Structure 1
Amino acid sequence: MIAATAASASASAAELSLLTWEGYADASFIKDFETESSCKVSATYVGSNDDFAPKLAAGGGVYDIIVPSIDTIGLMRLAGFVDPVDPAKVPALKETYERFNTATDVTFEGTQWSVPLVWGSISLMYRTDKVSPAPDSIAVMFDPKYKGKIAFWDDKSTLYWAARYLGITNIYDMTDEELEKVKAKLIEQKPLVRKYWATAGELTDLYANQEVWVSNTWTGLQSGMIRALNKGFDVTEFLPKEKGEGWMDSMMLVKGSANTDCAYKFINYMLSPKGQCGIIGVTGYFPVSPKAVEGCLDEAAKKANHVNDLGFIDGLVMWQMPARLDKYLETWNAVKAAQ
């Protein structure tokens, strides 16, 4: 376990510093928050949930809100990086899906530690003009036919994809033997991989520059970014028969922040129609507050964004913090370091 304490210094009270994901602080919806709240927002983006702990442990006191995924919020609490959230200061919390709001580590022993923001899935994506026949399995990521045209996310969750491909079901609590099998398979696959991508923009560029034909992807985001470039080809996403992954990102208060007034204003704004519609419009992800998006999504969009369709989660493997996080990180780093 990472043992560290967050720095107590922070930016001035009229500023709000976020450690978050691409698209989560887009000017298209943040500008209204800044005008209405008089709180100036600055954002630093992560490419993986594995980035949160090192950035917070490094100190500097520059963050007020972090937005980790559901498999990482428990680690943030255990490491002492965050303070509890006061539900009384977040009236819109009661409008979020109860399934998320009562999830493990979102609340712990009766205390609220995070506020749901957005959810979605991790699927596979491919160029329709280059990959044939249409794949239905993770096997496409290990197919020698696409050597040099494959990209995996630079994240420990790559272990989960390889594990499911190998038929391992207990992907968050693998034995040493199972982790060795996963490591061996990924090292064997490594010559097929063009790049372990780190950000949405990087993966988009890999497709745009004709370097990659197949990858995993943050469902809805990168496919939209690629199509917007009008490069003369199309991409499509699919959930493999071995299942895709599911996630939920939530907002947490950095320990000792002096900007809690702006932080609570921001949290409430992001659960409001402007915040939920804004982030969904930019990312293509799914809202946590169905009531908030009533006015901005038509029936087709509601279906595409799984509004009031939490049964979709049952077809996903929802992220959890691995039982032996350090061992998983060690295994993933060993794959990346392998020649």
Structure 2
Amino acid sequence: MTHLSARRARIRSSILTGLAIASVALLTACGTGGDGGTGGADSSEAPTELGENESTVSILAWPGYVEDGSNDPSVDWVSAFEEETGCMVTSKTYGTSDEAFNLMKTGEYDVVAASGDASLRLVAAGDVAPVNTDLIPNYEGIYDFLKMQDWNSVDGVAYGIPHGYGANLLMYNTDAVTPAPTSWDVVFDESAQYTGKVTAYDSPIYIADAAMYLMTHQPDLGIENPYSLDETQLAAAVDLLKAQRENIGEYWSDYLKSIQAFETGDTVVGTTWQVIRNSLAEGTPAEVVLPEEGVTGWSDTWMVASEAQSPNCAYAWLNYIASPEANAQATEYFGEAPSNQGACDFTVNPDQCEIFHAGDEEYASQIWYWSTPIEDCLDGRTDVKCTDYSDWTTAWQEIKG
């Protein structure tokens, strides 16, 4: 088995095991405060100084984020952390953001790596605490355009440390889809010509992709932020996705299945990640493009549990994983851009940062990073209530039927 194939098998096993263990309960409420907001805490709740490290730290993360050599002896950034800090790591992987949200309610984890479709829900539920970035020296090296954003801060209070980021791109089979697409219309208004071979990401957060498309193609709807939809705007996105549903061959959440579908030709066009394109078997006729409407994407955040049993080790982990060396290892292994501007000096592949457009602010400005929909409109509107994640979850069930 090749190194890539072994890695795929390990990550596939981790994802499927996590999904089997947890029956991912769909949310009936977003857990917002009485004002419909995120219920964020005051910055004074963050620690002003750190104490002695505890002996252990428990981490909840996406597969591939906390590697200690047990999956592959050559892939290990945890052991160095343990030797440096004395904090012995235990970790658990999860397969979806909903699963991570539910697992954090157990109180068993000190740290979580959360994507933007979970981070504000964790803040609203009181499961994560404000973070004092002054206590994290490596925070200074993180790209400024990733700091203090909608998905990792509330009312000017930081709730975590950026990890890595990437875009949800459009991939197409160059033999089947001609001419080369420049718009998302090939998976929306023009998707009928590829019936049964269109794919899309399987999550309520995918509603934002439809909303982003409508920002350009139905400007009268007044959508300014694809994660900030009132009832009328959400209904329009749902209608677009219901029409698309008729042409979807398969929704995907396991990126390994997406790789296989493009390699076999079962899928010819749809949402993808750069790592999927990079992992395709040699000779697969597929390319990726960032369409003219822009893209959605993710910027994951390391967050500290509000009731962390090992808060000092939790801070030690946030500082360590944000270091150029560890950030380079973790993000290159997973397949995304690093958050630390010094990480590019430590990647194994000298082209890694160029491939993933690390630090390219113009490229990053075209990405609408996953943010949890909440009633307090993220676009600044105060005359209406926006739909929240529970509304999107209900809508997604309706779309898929």
**TM-score category, normalised to shorter length:** 0.7 to 0.9
Taking structure 2 as the reference length, what is the TM-score of the superposition? 0.72
Matched to 2:251, the amino acid is Y
Higher-RCO chain (CA-CA 8 Å, sequence separation at least 6): 1
Paired residues for 1:135-150 under 5 Å: 135-142=181-188, 143-150=191-198
Please say if 1:45 is aligned against 2:115: no
Say which is worse superposed, 89-98 or 314-323, in terms of deviation: 314-323
Deviations along 1:203-229, one digit per CA (max 9) or x if unpaired, are 2233344422222123x22222324xx
Please say if 1:250 is aligned against 2:296: no
Match of 1:115 among 153, 161, 164: 161
The residue aligned with 1:20 is 61
The residue aligned with 1:10 is none
Question: Is contact 1:115–1:252 with CA below 8 Å preserved after alignment?
Answer: yes
Question: Is contact 1:138–1:161 with CA below 8 Å preserved after alignment?
Answer: no
Matched to 2:89, the amino acid is K
CA 1:22–1:151: 2 relative to 1, 3 Å: farther
Question: Is contact 2:242–2:399 with CA below 8 Å preserved after alignment?
Answer: yes
1:80 Cα deviation (Å)?
A: 0.7
Paired residues for 1:202-241 under 5 Å: 202-218=257-273, 220-227=274-281, 230=282, 232-241=283-292
CA distance, structure 1, for counterparts of residue 356 and residue 169 of structure 2 = 14
The residue aligned with 2:231 is 176
Matched to 2:119, the amino acid is I
The residue aligned with 1:153 is 201
Backbone CA RMSD of aligned residues:
2.7
Match of 2:124 among 59, 78, 81: 78
Please say if 1:162 is aligned against 2:190: no
Unaligned stretches of 5+ residues in structure 1: 5-12
CA 1:29–1:127: 2 relative to 1, 3 Å: farther
Query: How many residues were matched structurally?
Result: 322
Matched to 2:249, the amino acid is R
Paired residues for 1:280-299 under 5 Å: 280-296=331-347
Unaligned stretches of 5+ residues in structure 2: 1-28, 33-53, 70-74, 375-386
Partner-residue secondary structure (3-state), 2:116: coil
- Percentage of pairs with the same residue: 24
CA 1:22–1:102: 2 relative to 1, 3 Å: same
Match of 2:395 among 300, 316, 331: 331
CA distance, structure 2, for counterparts of residue 196 and residue 302 of structure 1 = 29
Matched to 2:254, the amino acid is T
Question: Is contact 2:344–2:352 with CA below 8 Å preserved after alignment?
Answer: no
Question: Is contact 1:18–1:66 with CA below 8 Å preserved after alignment?
Answer: yes
Partner-residue secondary structure (3-state), 1:248: strand
Partner-residue secondary structure (3-state), 1:54: helix
CA distance, structure 2, for counterparts of residue 221 and residue 41 of structure 1 = 27
Match of 2:175 among 129, 144, 167: 129
Deviations along 1:118-148, one digit per CA (max 9) or x if unpaired, are 1221111122233222111112113222211
